[in-house]
Structure 1
């Protein structure tokens, strides 16, 4: 292809029968063979409540209902349908769910076809066209796939997909063992994909420790990053195949900033693992909590006839360190880790949580100020990990356990689940720690060694308790105990408290954070738990001590975390959950708070102070005043000025419902499975929320969507919990406006609307972002017999008095010419320069004092470019004291004068700096050269040029 700048999309023409998903592919996009379709719609479901040994489906008696994935075997009330199980969960959701789907595939090309599952509870059997394909029985929390190529009809006739999701008790599958403190929900509860590849393709990452793409960054500094990428390519043909692996690093704007290429002839029916190492050395953006900058690693497999496979992975450039007496360092900066534990389940739907709600959880954690989340007590959904990558939240992920321990097969499956968890999520920059332990029990050597074998660069966590297991990290790297008893911690060991208690008034939370900050080796804490959750041990209720309710409504303690961790001015009057009859509690990050009751000043005071909260920045404000009926207003004061305020009402008169669908920076897709939370608040005439109200509230809907649940499970209508009723609203499959109306007896209704947007089920199509691939031109100017060439740069050599022209090796249509207005060029060289571009600055070219230096560039494709020009004078050459004026003639303007920039650098010792340089932004058009003219405004010294770089900027062309 003649053009060097390519707008490349990582997708392929759809080969499934047109209209199968009711949507058509975008037109005019470059084809590539891998396709990944999310096939969550169009399923039929039948619930088999037989708990015996047989799971054979009786097709004659089965009654099917249409469902959309993610799906639970049955919707569940908040009281777990009244089931009286114990912590072993012997009967609840212990059923077999049958799922059926029809697919027409009209393609006879020799491809591979797979069904990929993100997670199924908990034993999965698959049949295609009445033929048994296989079984997955490792567990319900990790991904897997089946190769279904040889079971499909490729003649356009229907293919029958039949799946059993068997959630019956199984002592061989962790976390089942003896008991656990959460519910094992059920069903095809995560996304399912249809994946097609060429016979020459990248393997699935969970197949083996070297499978898929594994990205590591052996060294990371703000100036230089080394990147290693291991990629396993499989040749499933019967002949050896020539394979070129092209790996590109792409920045947020879509610009290719690094590339690695390798070639290998892969034997028939064999795998080969490529190992490529490269790096970035300029304009590096590190991934951090405050700036979670993500690159993309684009992996392209090129066969004899062209590209045959393309996939992408995220890349966050960051460095983790755990150093005694310094604590945890992220990119060389100490960070105190403050966060929470998370369970994935939601009310009514259990674990069948769509990606939209996984994002909501992560988004709320970021709003709270949390910088770490422990994923309790199993691997979580891919979409939650991706959200934390994007938002800047660190993760501590662990295999599926609680306290119970099983037999040999159970441990085998636990190790397999651990390995798959790591292989699946190892490329995500948000993953900080792998749990190599059993919750409460502590470190497990077998899991630690497995984690180190799979991912040697990350630390393992011990996850014990002071009443069970060793009181140190033992074989693991980091001591991560839970503590509800204020246990003494060894000051000589790095400790992260994986669980600690919480209280409705945030006193316990403040104590634990202060305790952690008292020692550099106590690197942080995670509160148990972020949300209310359901369990049979004991039966969990709605507890104000949690950070959020089970519906993700913030409890008062949430606002203390915000006051401590977020810099935005905040003041919050805690309601009856934290303010008792003898005190009013206020959370704020202001210097003082003035409290008013019914517009009369109660007091103005600073925050509480006591030794147990010595190391937190913003303790709560406790006012010795009865929390009685009426209106309470707190005003936050800093530097003598009121900068924020908050009002609540106790015992007010309900007047209206305020219906709210919170925004979370994400589109609401019309995919049939996405869910938004809708909250109906009871307010008074002034719009103040009445936190103690318990009205019965109903929600109605107009538009293409549904309300999850009904009266039978107490989902609609629902009783207000602390003044708010919560509902789950699911999108339909047609984009448009969904109108919602909340109603309650004796209260004015509230209304809100949500707009759903078009969704494309082709994941590789929907998630694709463009790539702007222009390999930078880097020219090091030198005398014909000059000294050294800068590593990775191309030479541009000439002799004194002669103009010089060079043609780019990587872009042969690009012609670059250098000349002076008087026809004389003085090429020079020297011996050495102390800088991070030492060989660029040691040689170059000079124009005389009154002459202009003219750089002409032709052949660039249409678009915007940055031309970086280096100007440095060595000690043995005439010192240049000029200010340089730059004039540009390009497609954007004629004789555009840039502001004169500082004099060139001078001398032989710059230290760790680049020679002086200036960036010129130019616009190119076909058949129109670009001219950059340099002139010494002083007319005394002339102009020096040592090197030229040409980079492509992002463009919509």
Structure 2
């Protein structure tokens, strides 16, 4: 039997480490904390990432039942963890993105656990050894569990499905035990109830399910079943599982027998102020944003395995996952290879029962060919999970193809920048390929022949864009994404395209904009949309979520030559109506065979009217229709003034537990029509009673909004907030229960 108790509370932390500190027993001299935890508090911009690249130490007293076996399970410690029990070293784990366990001896009922965390970028640990374009914040930033095991308990379970016909499957449940026992296996759902027994013997066991007719899992229908293993009344194992046919072929990606176009974005697990250390509900929230706000059907976990809560939410909400090992361009030597292979094992064993995962990334992102290493990563992955294909993200044309899917970062579309720059300098980068600018290279050009093929990055660094940039840059940013997505839909031999990237993220001093931020996202680091987000959001089924985003701030002086049109309206509506100065200027539909005709919902372009400098300038309304009914309206004033401070909170109630919880506070400074004032500066002053405002109480205004998170503290029972901007003041109360 196995039971797990999350132990994210009662930890103590030392921000410095000296030899033998792990033997300290007077814990009250250190800072009392809850997990998840980042070793340093970071400002949003212009910080020195070396501040966390050092050794720190965590402590906790752990009380155990000496009649059972006890383990501490760490879901993620960045980057090297040296684990001590009662002052004695017991384990080392290298790599910050995969779980590991440490067994506690039964010699005493209370142990003093100490974890020395090395956050430096060591050249024996992936992804380190050279420069990487993202930050790896140190700390115990994921959950920690006390795990009790006795009698029969399940090790490395693998629910291995096999498709027989449409909606018809068989399955095997493979697992190990260290004691024999008679076990009951249940697989249940709305339309399925299977029960069986197995006399498990020491070592490897296989339970074979009968042929089953099931509802297949897909992003549109994320149907899950409950898999349970019991010994009499004792619960040994529980996992939600799904059935789906996912195959990358020379003719595209097929899901459940149907050709399926992948449209996705890459995701970094990076948040303002706390780095990686956000509780699991905010990992889940990112899945909701990717699936429902952006309308995606795939996410790539760039460039490392992400939290178990994130993957489980992809199962629940319906989002395909391309999961990859840690790394960025650099391949180390010796022990670095051993750690990478261990990371492969830990990633696959943890997530191979999650139906959302359809592709394993077993090659370091954008690295050169390495026959010996990548032969091993592919072989290990296929041994651990023969049911899924492997991919290896590269930027190289015709590189050694050891995986099942040729996954390619294609930055060939430059919007004309290379040609422009060549008038001044010789531009020589790996993106400088001589192709007609159609958005993407062909499979044959990249590989030399037709193979299973997926584009895994585009856009991104080619046109970094801040949410508060001038309007024309924001428009161009969106159009570049649209060009590539359109090209992916156009080519039937491309399985799809996963763009760079969903959210802005923090990076080293030799990347990004110098303020430690890469502005590559279609949303900013606070998950607030730029214009480019509408390219993806507007491709959703309008019956589920009607979208209409005109790419304009509706001003007279933002664009060159004081132009106001063309206005690209990214929408999934059937048609739009334009009203100017209260009078209809007509209805507009999509252009047949236009520039973006391969998109499911190409933008509607408004270009038939214009207003010259000096002419009267009036208010604008854009109205979206679906089946003749108004479903969405966007209104603009021609004379915006600071009209209101709107405060929104993600939670009215937070649940207090062994870990901290957080509510997102979004403060919008808007004009008379409720639109953000994009060039407003300053900060919103946020006063709080109870809780803690992450990043401090002066919340910067970025592009017309100020966003922060307020977290619970152990003594918090209620959080009262007062937001002030100029003459505006708003109050919010969040209840804390538990």
Q: Which has the larger radius of gyration?
A: 1
1:142 aligns with 2:98: yes
Distance 1:61 1:626 in 2: 74
2:272 to 347, 366, 381: 347
Residue 447 of structure 2 corresponds to which residue in structure 1? none
TM-score by length of 1: 0.66
1:570 aligns with 2:570: no
Residue 676 of structure 2 corresponds to which residue in structure 1? 689
CA contact (8 A) 1:247 1:259 kept: yes
CA contact (8 A) 1:544 1:577 kept: no
- Alpha-carbon offset, residue 631 of structure 1: 4.4
Distance 1:60 1:70 in 2: 23
1:464 aligns with 2:464: no
Correspondence list, 1:173-212, <5 A: 173-203=125-155, 212=156
- Alpha-carbon offset, residue 597 of structure 1: 4.5
2:224 to 274, 284, 294: 294
1:549 aligns with 2:524: yes
1:114 aligns with 2:77: no
- Alpha-carbon offset, residue 601 of structure 1: 4.7
1:43 aligns with 2:31: no
1:507 aligns with 2:464: no
Q: Give CA deviations for 1:856-912 in whole Å, capped at 9, x if unaligned.
A: xxxxxxxxxxxxxxxxxxxxxxxxxxxxxxxxxxxxxxxxxxxxxxxxxxxxxxxxx
Correspondence list, 1:874-913, <5 A: none
Distance 1:226 1:753 in 2: 52
CA contact (8 A) 2:77 2:139 kept: yes
- Alpha-carbon offset, residue 737 of structure 1: 4.8
Residue 214 of structure 1 corresponds to which residue in structure 2? 158
SS at match of 1:561: helix
SS at match of 1:418: helix
Distance 1:690 1:493 in 2: 48
CA contact (8 A) 1:45 1:65 kept: yes
Correspondence list, 1:371-410, <5 A: 371-410=297-336
Q: Give CA deviations for 1:192-233 in whole Å, capped at 9, x if unaligned.
A: 000101043223xxxxxxxx2111111254553201100111
1:232 to 170, 176, 187: 176
Correspondence list, 1:704-743, <5 A: 705-710=691-696, 716-733=697-714, 737-743=718-724
SS at match of 1:422: helix
1:480 aligns with 2:480: no
Q: Give CA deviations for 1:397-417 in whole Å, capped at 9, x if unaligned.
A: 111000111111101111110
Residue 601 of structure 2 corresponds to which residue in structure 1? 618
- Alpha-carbon offset, residue 142 of structure 1: 0.6
Distance 1:448 1:439 in 2: 15
- Alpha-carbon offset, residue 165 of structure 1: 1.1
SS at match of 1:636: strand
Distance 2:284 2:199 in 1: 39
Distance 2:719 2:611 in 1: 44
- Alpha-carbon offset, residue 307 of structure 1: 5.5
Distance 2:198 2:554 in 1: 62
Distance 2:321 2:400 in 1: 19
2:456 to 489, 498, 503: 498
**Aligned pair in 2 of structure 1 residues 627, 639: CA closer, same or farther (>3 Å)?**
farther
Residue 278 of structure 1 corresponds to which residue in structure 2? 209
Residue 532 of structure 1 corresponds to which residue in structure 2? 504
Residue 467 of structure 2 corresponds to which residue in structure 1? none
SS at match of 2:538: helix
Distance 2:653 2:392 in 1: 39
CA contact (8 A) 2:500 2:520 kept: no
1:435 aligns with 2:361: yes
CA contact (8 A) 1:182 1:535 kept: yes
Distance 1:544 1:661 in 2: 25
**Aligned pair in 2 of structure 1 residues 686, 116: CA closer, same or farther (>3 Å)?**
same
**Aligned pair in 2 of structure 1 residues 79, 688: CA closer, same or farther (>3 Å)?**
closer
Residue 918 of structure 1 corresponds to which residue in structure 2? none
- Alpha-carbon offset, residue 602 of structure 1: 5.4
Q: Give CA deviations for 1:506-543 in whole Å, capped at 9, x if unaligned.
A: 21121111111112221111110100001113134667
Distance 2:360 2:319 in 1: 15
Distance 2:718 2:733 in 1: 7
**Aligned pair in 2 of structure 1 residues 740, 626: CA closer, same or farther (>3 Å)?**
farther
**Aligned pair in 2 of structure 1 residues 528, 750: CA closer, same or farther (>3 Å)?**
same
CA contact (8 A) 2:549 2:570 kept: yes
Distance 1:201 1:446 in 2: 30
Residue 99 of structure 1 corresponds to which residue in structure 2? 58
Q: Give CA deviations for 1:152-207 in whole Å, capped at 9, x if unaligned.
A: x22xxx5322111111231110000211110011100111000101043223xxxx
Residue 26 of structure 1 corresponds to which residue in structure 2? none
**Aligned pair in 2 of structure 1 residues 626, 667: CA closer, same or farther (>3 Å)?**
farther
2:656 to 670, 692, 696: 670
Residue 805 of structure 1 corresponds to which residue in structure 2? none
CA contact (8 A) 1:250 1:297 kept: yes
Residue 808 of structure 1 corresponds to which residue in structure 2? none
SS at match of 1:456: coil
Distance 2:519 2:678 in 1: 12
Q: Give CA deviations for 1:813-842 in whole Å, capped at 9, x if unaligned.
A: xxxxxxxxxxxxxxxxxxxxxxxxxxxxxx
SS at match of 1:481: strand
- Alpha-carbon offset, residue 684 of structure 1: 3.0
- Alpha-carbon offset, residue 596 of structure 1: 3.6
**Aligned pair in 2 of structure 1 residues 122, 688: CA closer, same or farther (>3 Å)?**
closer
Distance 1:518 1:442 in 2: 29
CA contact (8 A) 1:659 1:681 kept: yes
Residue 41 of structure 2 corresponds to which residue in structure 1? 75
Distance 1:291 1:524 in 2: 20
Q: Give CA deviations for 1:639-660 in whole Å, capped at 9, x if unaligned.
A: 5554421124576221321111
Residue 160 of structure 1 corresponds to which residue in structure 2? 112
Distance 1:297 1:408 in 2: 40
Q: Give CA deviations for 1:696-755 in whole Å, capped at 9, x if unaligned.
A: 20222334x321122xxxxx3122111110011213457855333321123x22333434
CA contact (8 A) 2:126 2:327 kept: yes
Give the superposed CA RMSD.
Answer: 2.8
Number of positions where the alignment pairs a residue of Structure 1 with one of Structure 2: 670
CA contact (8 A) 1:574 1:585 kept: yes
SS at match of 2:271: coil
Gaps of 5+ in 2: 414-439, 445-449, 464-473
1:451 aligns with 2:381: yes
Distance 1:103 1:231 in 2: 29
**Aligned pair in 2 of structure 1 residues 717, 433: CA closer, same or farther (>3 Å)?**
same
Residue 797 of structure 1 corresponds to which residue in structure 2? none
